[in-house]
Structure 1
Amino acid sequence: MFFTYLRRELRRRRKAALVVASGLALGIALVIVVNSVSNGMGRAQDKVLQSLYGLGTDMTVSKAATPTSGDSRPRFKFDAKENGDEGAQSSDRVMAQGFTTLSASTVTKVADQKGVSSAVGGLSLNVVKVSGQFTRGQFQQGEGGQMRGGPGSQPQGRVQGGGADFDVNQYTVYGTDVTKPELGPLTSSEITSGRTFKTTETDAKVVVADSAYAKEKKLKVGGSVTVKGVKYEVIGIATASSGDAAANLYIPLKQAQTLSGDKDKVTTIYVKAADSQQIEAVKSAIQKNVPGTTVTTSADLAKTVSGSLSTASDLATTVGKWLSIAVLVAAFLVAGLLTSSAVSRRVREFGTLKALGWKSGRVTRQVVGEAVVNGLVGGALGIALGLAGAYAVTAISPTLQAQLGGSGGGLGGEGVFRGGGGLGGPGRQAAKSLEVALTAPVSLTTIVLAVGLAVAGGLIAGAFGGWRASRLRPADALRRVE
């Protein structure tokens, strides 16, 4: 009887039911689109940040900022050639990024902190190679070879030609702990040719080159590259998953320490927390128990992402969500008022049913049942519209720009992109701009939320109408004309 009457009433009031369902559908569709776009913003930001730190890395530890003293600029010294002959000169300077390092024992201290799953150290180096040659000038004697100034004076003339022609080549090298390949900036790149390091190659003269740098310098697997007079075999080519690579060349940590003279030193410690929900607690523990360090989480670095990606993310998380709430509240109120109004027009009908023996509870359940069905229909329409909207955003894939770093303050001794401080990682010398395509992935959670909103909308609308219907008395209802 309940479902028969329900089906008949919904058919008889199709237009009213469609209006209620449509209002709920618009609100639910907007919620789905806003949630999907917000998820897309999160993925876009993760993609941007992925180019700055290794996959699986929750935070980095670097040396705390300290006032610099003296002159830390690189100096180049060229030996004089015998008898002043001209010739080629070359000099390499290998320096730790930011000129700040931590003791390798700090890695163990960090790894021993509560909540830390694993920690690995790395040494980020900046290599400046100056090469070229001096050319002797030719002395041109003045006309007639006349001498001035009396006996012993030199012939008058001038030096022509000669000089110096030098080229400066600057690149970055990252010393990675090959025994822990699951952490560190190399994990944000994919080996596209050759292989990565073996765990036994802790002090081997092997190198993995970034694909962009390898293309520029024409490096291939099986070839070699020389750093400060040391020849390394190219065993692999790595391509960054997004953005720029963390370094131009990757070598075993011990080799990097030998090149720079920083024995048992690291510039950055990459940390993975045992529980992703306890990252802030782990950060606090490291800062408290490992003095002289700066701890930077991916959330800290995310705050430095600016540009259209940041603006769109703010709109999606603030304006979009508040707009969704406002539309949902309006849709629920309209559905409730329309259902209540429909009950007012059915006073005589409900009065007759009560006179025939229907109790107030049964009438209320009938009204609520109709409202819930309207809500479910609205939910189905809303999910369809929401999925269509999310698909449209993904198909269009609007391009957003992300400016990384900006001020760089507060995330390390030399800023996010200097000195390996913060999650910026090695080799970052200036803020970078990246472009990412926006998508709107729809999660199962979003669909469940939409269904829940549909049921809630129906119940709210039914509550309005049911309350009106339960207060009707058969005698009063029969005296009114519909």
Structure 2
Amino acid sequence: MFFTYLRRELRRRRKAALVVASGLALGIALVIVVSSVSTGMSRAQDKVLESLYGLGTDMTVTKAAAAPGSGSGRPKFEFDAKGDDDATQSSDRVMVQGFQTLASSTVTRIGGQNGVAGAVGGLSLNVMKVDGEFKRGEFKQDEGAGQGGRSGPGGQGGTGQPQGEVRGGGASFDVNSYTVYGTDVTEQGIGPLTSSKITKGRTFKTSETDAKVAVVDSAYAKEKKLDVGKTVTVHGTKFTVVGVSTADSGDAAANLYIPLKQAQTLSDSKDKVTTVYVKAADSQQIDQVKSAIQKNISGTTVTTSADLADTVSGSLSTASDLASGVGKWLSIVVLAAAFLVAGLLTSSAVSRRVREFGTLKALGWKSGRVTRQVVGEALVNGLLGGVLGIGIGLAGAYLVTAISPTLTAQLGSSGGGTGGGRFMGGPGGPGGPGRAAASKTLDIALTAPVSLSVVLIAVVLAVAGGLIAGGFGGWRASRLRPADALRRVE
């Protein structure tokens, strides 16, 4: 009887049912679209942070760069006084980049802190190479000077020396800067190299802790015409290129990756690292791990992904703030309005069915049965609205993904106190100790993935909407008396 009456009433009042379901559908669809876009922005921001940090890294530990003037000063380059004319000369300097060094034992101490699942050290270097040639000048004799005679006013008359000047000559040198990152080849699951994919050759072997091998970034390899099997010379040491990597997003962390021990040898930084990359055992305990490291290892700066997220600006950051702020509250307001309208329409529909419900009560229906009938109708309307809302929401999310609007992420300078995985200098940049990383812009394509949890939330909202609407109508129906059927005619 319940379902028969329910089906008949919904069919008879299908226009009113469609209006209620449509209102709920719009609210639910908006929730799905906003939630999926927010998820897409969160993933885009994670992708940006991975380009700064490396996949799997939750935080970095560094030591702020020394104050200007306290270091060794500007790099000095020495050249031999060769006798060969136009002889090409070259000199380079390998410098620790960005931060003060930490003892390698610090990595072990950090790895032993509560909540730390893994810790690995790395050494960031900047190589400045100067090469070119000295050109001898040519002596040009004055045309008016005689052989040993006077050359006119101010000349060297009587000396017997030729009169003239040296023209041309000088020096022509190119300055090239590139970044080198010393990576712990025994622990390759954390750190900047994990944000790149090996597109040619292979990555390091765990046995190559002190081998003269290198992985080169694809952009730098193209610029310098490097490939697997070729050699690259750093400060007089030749490294064989075993792999070419391509950054997943933005620029690579470094132009060249070599084993940590080799990097320490080149920079005369034995048992030193500049950055410790840390992975937390539980993402919910990142703040606690950060506090523990800062407390137990003095003089260090701990930077989490949340800290780096604050440095990301541009349209990605703006859109993310709008989605999490305005979008969230807009969804709540629209959904609340949809629930309220559905409740009022259901209550209004009950008012127009006074004679019907009054007659049913006169025939013996209890108030509870009438209320259940109204709530059942409203619940079906809510479920119908949920189905429509999920359909519209999925279509909206698919449309966003199909269009894939491009958002920009501006990465501010990391400096000595906040940097984690970015290295200054970059391809072609000047670099230098204590210098902040230059800001750059990344283009990120926005997607709107819809998770199963979002769909389940939509179903819950549909049921909740139906129950709220049914509550309005049921309360109104329960107050009707059989005598009302005799005084009210539809």
Partner residue in 2 for 1:55? 55
Partner residue in 2 for 1:337? 344
Query: CA separation in 2, counterparts of 1:179 and 1:89?
Result: 38
- Given candidates 262, 269, 287, the residue that maps to 1:262 is 269
| Letter paired with 1:44 | A
5+ long unaligned stretches in structure 2: 427-433
Partner residue in 2 for 1:465? 473
Contact 1:368–1:466 (Cα < 8 Å) also in 2: yes
Query: CA separation in 1, counterparts of 2:55 and 2:160?
Result: 74
Contact 1:72–1:99 (Cα < 8 Å) also in 2: no
Partner residue in 1 for 2:362? 355
| Letter paired with 1:161 | G
Contact 2:126–2:425 (Cα < 8 Å) also in 1: no
Contact 1:55–1:188 (Cα < 8 Å) also in 2: yes
Q: Secondary structure at the match of 1:474?
A: coil
Partner residue in 2 for 1:80? 81
Partner residue in 1 for 2:35? 35
In the alignment, structure 1 residue 388 sits paired with structure 2 residue 395: yes
Query: CA separation in 2, counterparts of 1:369 and 1:350?
Result: 15
Return closer, same or farther for 1:408/1:427 CA change in 2, 3 Å cut-off. Answer: closer
Partner residue in 1 for 2:175? 168
Per-residue Cα deviation, 1:426-451 (whole angstroms, up to 9, x for no partner): 99831111111111111101100100
| Counterparts of residues 53-452 of structure 1 (less than 5 Å) | 53-70=53-70, 72-82=73-83, 86-98=86-98, 100-142=100-142, 143-145=145-147, 146=149, 148=155, 155-405=162-412, 411-412=418-419, 418=424, 429-452=437-460
Query: CA separation in 2, counterparts of 1:294 and 1:409?
Result: 9
Partner residue in 2 for 1:423? none
The CA RMSD over aligned residues, in Å, is: 2.1
Q: Secondary structure at the match of 1:98?
A: coil
Deviation at 1:472, TM superposition (A): 1.4
Contact 1:65–1:412 (Cα < 8 Å) also in 2: no
Aligned length in residues? 475
5+ long unaligned stretches in structure 1: 421-425
Contact 2:178–2:425 (Cα < 8 Å) also in 1: no
Query: CA separation in 2, counterparts of 1:203 and 1:376?
Result: 65
Partner residue in 1 for 2:430? none
Deviation at 1:39, TM superposition (A): 0.7
Deviation at 1:81, TM superposition (A): 2.3
| Letter paired with 1:459 | L
Contact 1:62–1:268 (Cα < 8 Å) also in 2: yes
Query: CA separation in 1, counterparts of 2:254 and 2:64?
Result: 22
Return closer, same or farther for 1:54/1:355 CA change in 2, 3 Å cut-off. Answer: same
Contact 2:229–2:242 (Cα < 8 Å) also in 1: yes
Query: CA separation in 2, counterparts of 1:407 and 1:260?
Result: 22
Deviation at 1:98, TM superposition (A): 2.1
Contact 1:126–1:427 (Cα < 8 Å) also in 2: no
| Letter paired with 2:374 | V
Deviation at 1:376, TM superposition (A): 0.3
Return closer, same or farther for 1:153/1:347 CA change in 2, 3 Å cut-off. Answer: farther
Contact 2:135–2:169 (Cα < 8 Å) also in 1: yes
Contact 1:89–1:132 (Cα < 8 Å) also in 2: yes
| Letter paired with 1:2 | F
Query: CA separation in 2, counterparts of 1:410 and 1:343?
Result: 66
Identity of aligned residues (%): 77
